[in-house]
Amino acid sequence: GQNIDQPTEMTATEGAIVQINCTYQTSGFNGLFWYQQHAGEAPTFLSYNVLDGLEEKGRFSSFLSRSKGYSYLLLKELQMKDSASYLCAPETTSGTYKYIFGTGTRLKVLA
């Protein structure tokens, strides 16, 4: 079956670092995407990992271990505007290329 696990909620302080973990089980794995979604808005792309290791993009980094079915999103120098839901989305090739979403992690950044 397909299963994605990530924490439901996290709270952190402005300026801090937070790591959002995601474990997944999917068939036909083709890489993993992270999306950010502010309340009432469209999900927006943050990162994509296809190979094991860390991908860094400004304040955001994402890590993937294919053998462990594990990824994390690292957010540095947190800002208030980072308060949002973060969606872990493995891409599967079962049927077609499509995302399998987790329930998302709601991050609250406090002043």
Distance in Å, CB of 35 to another protein, minimum: 8
> Nearest distance from residue 27's CB to another protein, in Å?
12
Q: Would you say 17 or 54 has its CB closer to another protein?
A: 54
- Which parts of this chain interact with another protein (CB under 8 A)? 4, 30-31, 33, 35, 41-45, 48, 50, 87, 91, 93, 95-104
Given the complex with another protein, which of 9 and 41 has the nearer CB atom?
Answer: 41
Element spanning 56, H or E: strand 53-57
Least separation in angstroms between residue 68's CB and another protein is 20
Euclidean distance between CA atoms 67 and 30, whole angstroms = 13
DSSP label at 44?
E
Q: For residues 1 and 17, give the distance between their C-alpha atoms in angstroms, rounded to a whole number.
A: 33
Among 86, 89, 90, CA closest to 109 = 86
